């Protein structure tokens, strides 16, 4: 066992984390050897709201229901939350913002916390489905620590509805052994898909990104709803379709077993594949594409609101958030969390791309999500 007073090196921390994730060491060992157990105890002492006594645990109830995205959390953090508060986190995983919105719109979702992306928040506000946040219950959220562009979509008309979780991009993952090098433009992606990578490319089963990147191919805005520009994007997509390997947002299995050679890809998936198979790279489209930011939010009809606040507050504590980032590989906009992350992660070009690579990217707009013409275009593309 390690002396708790000696800080653990970043490399050793990563090794211990991997060992723990593989199940070869117990959580107790992991928390002890990395000092996180002590850190949590100290944190708990410093923030009475984080590690309440049994009496307090009664207050937030025995469960909290979280609706989130795939591969987006460190399960060990949920266990620690249960140990600290007595509330068990029930996780529901979704494939798209539309799907999440549809469930909340239908009513009775039973969710306490959900994770909308920047462009979805205005729609929730308009439909009166999202709770204005009482920031006094989220002391771990420090607005000053967050980069503005990744946190401002959570505030609408001066009311805070969401606090930032992670941000990321939608780029291209490619298997360089098969593609013969880096694929870093949507021109190369869509042209190659019809030519030398016939039957090997995948696009998302998601209108926002698939249509958006087809628009970017033609030099239009990712968010365009202009009928002429959409028509050109549609022509491209329908032309490419017979040559695609699949239209699916579940691209990791096909990329990993070598059936697909390149795919539209979100940051964290790119990092996860790259970590296991270095030949799989991730690049942003030179012409542009999407940059996004996800937020923790609470539905109006959340059954366990106190537990929801407790969970958000817990996940936003820099120590916990750093563990989350180590597990899922998505960047964090919180400078306090980044201060705790290992250097190699902060310098990783996949997770934290250079500013100039990010500059042509666009945040998705609310209308991009709800535009009926884009939805119909996607249906025509899929049924063609």
Partner 1 sequence: MTQSRARALLLTPAGLWYAAMLLLPLAVVLIFSFGERSAIGGYAPGFTFEQYANLPARFAAFRNTLTLAPVGTVAALVIAYPLAYFLAVKVSPKWKTMLLVLVIVPFWTSILIRSYAWIFLLGGKGIPALLESIGLDDVRLLNTPFAVLVGIVYGYLPLMVFPIYVALEKLDKRLLEAAADLGTPPWRAFLQITLPLSMPGVLTGSMLVFILLMGEFLIPAILGGGKVFFVGNALVDLFLQSRNWAFGSAVAVALVGVMLITVGVYTRLVKRFGASRDDVGLM
Interface residues with partner 1 (CB under 8 A) are 96, 98-99, 101-102, 105, 123, 126-127, 199, 205, 207, 241, 244-248, 253-254, 257-259, 370, 372, 375-376, 378-380, 382-384
**3-class state of residue 209 by DSSP:** helix
Length of the chain: 384
8 or 367, CB closer to partner 1? 367
CB of 208 to partner 1, least distance (A): 10
CB of 29 to partner 1, least distance (A): 33
217 or 381, CB closer to partner 1? 381
11 or 380, CB closer to partner 1? 380
21 or 370, CB closer to partner 1? 370
7 exposed, middle or buried (CB, 10 Å; 0-12, 13-18, 19+)?
exposed
CB of 125 to partner 1, least distance (A): 10
Spatial neighbors of 272 by CB under 8 A, at least 6 apart, are 71, 252, 328, 329
The CA-CA-CA angle for residues 53, 55, 32, to 5°, reads: 20
Q: Which two tokens stand for residue 293?
A: 């930011």
179 or 337, CB closer to partner 1? 179
- Of 264, 288, 265, 282, the closest CA to residue 359 belongs to 288
- Of 171, 265, 211, the closest CA to residue 220 belongs to 211
Q: Compute CA distances 21 → 50, 139, 156, 178, 342, whole Å.
A: 24, 29, 38, 30, 18
212 or 318, CB closer to partner 1? 212
The C-alpha atoms of residue 299 and residue 111 are separated, in whole angstroms, by 7
Note the Cα 48 to chain centre separation in Å: 29
CB of 201 to partner 1, least distance (A): 11
CB of 351 to partner 1, least distance (A): 28
Q: Compute CA distances 9 → 57, 84, 116, whole Å.
A: 34, 26, 35
CB of 197 to partner 1, least distance (A): 13
The C-alpha atoms of residue 161 and residue 154 are separated, in whole angstroms, by 5
249 exposed, middle or buried (CB, 10 Å; 0-12, 13-18, 19+)?
buried
CB of 175 to partner 1, least distance (A): 12
288 or 364, CB closer to partner 1? 364
CB of 130 to partner 1, least distance (A): 12
CB of 55 to partner 1, least distance (A): 42
The answer to whether 292 touches 165, Cβ cutoff 8 Å, is no
348 or 371, CB closer to partner 1? 371
- Of 34, 6, 5, 3, the closest CA to residue 18 belongs to 34
25 or 254, CB closer to partner 1? 254
């Amino acid at each position: 066992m390690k002396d708790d007073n000696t800080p653990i090196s970043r490399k050793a921390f990563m090794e211990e984390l991997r060992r723990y994730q593989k199940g070869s060491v117990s959580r107790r060992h992991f928390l002890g050897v990395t000092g996180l157990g002590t850190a949590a105890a100290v944190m708990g002492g410093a923030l009475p709201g984080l590690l309440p006594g049994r009496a307090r645990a009664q207050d937030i109830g025995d469960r909290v229901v979280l609706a989130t995205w795939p591969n987006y959390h460190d399960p060990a953090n949920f266990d620690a939350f249960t140990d600290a508060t007595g509330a068990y986190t029930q996780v529901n995983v979704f494939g798209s913002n539309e799907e999440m919105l549809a469930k909340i719109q239908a009513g009775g979702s039973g969710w306490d916390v959900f994770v909308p992306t920047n462009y979805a928040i205005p729609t929730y506000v308009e439909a009166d489905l999202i709770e204005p946040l009482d920031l006094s219950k989220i002391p771990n959220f420090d607005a000053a620590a967050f980069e503005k562009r990744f946190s401002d979509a959570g505030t609408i008309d001066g009311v805070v509805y969401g606090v930032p979780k992670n941000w990321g991009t939608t780029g291209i993952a490619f298997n360089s052994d098969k593609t013969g090098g880096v694929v870093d433009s949507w021109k190369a992606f869509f042209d190659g898909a019809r030519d030398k990578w016939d039957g090997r490319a995948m696009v998302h089963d998601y209108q926002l990104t698939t249509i958006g990147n087809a628009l970017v191919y033609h030099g239009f805005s990712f968010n365009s709803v202009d009928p002429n520009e959409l028509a050109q994007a549609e022509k491209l997509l329908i032309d490419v379709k017979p040559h695609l390997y699949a239209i699916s947002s579940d691209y990791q299995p096909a990329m990993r077993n070598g059936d697909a050679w390149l795919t539209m890809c979100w940051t964290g998936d790119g990092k996860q594949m790259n970590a296991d198979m270095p030949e799989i790279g991730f690049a942003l489209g030179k012409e542009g594409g999407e940059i996004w930011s996800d937020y923790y939010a609470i539905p109006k009809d959340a059954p366990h609101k106190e537990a929801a606040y407790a969970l958000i507050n817990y996940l936003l504590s820099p120590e916990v958030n750093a563990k989350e980032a180590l597990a899922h590989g998505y960047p964090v906009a919180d400078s306090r969390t980044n201060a705790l992350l290992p250097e190699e992660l902060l310098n990783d070009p996949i997770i934290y791309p250079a500013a100039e690579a990010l500059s042509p990217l666009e945040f998705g707009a609310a209308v991009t999500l709800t535009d009926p013409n884009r939805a119909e275009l996607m249906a025509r593309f899929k049924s063609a």
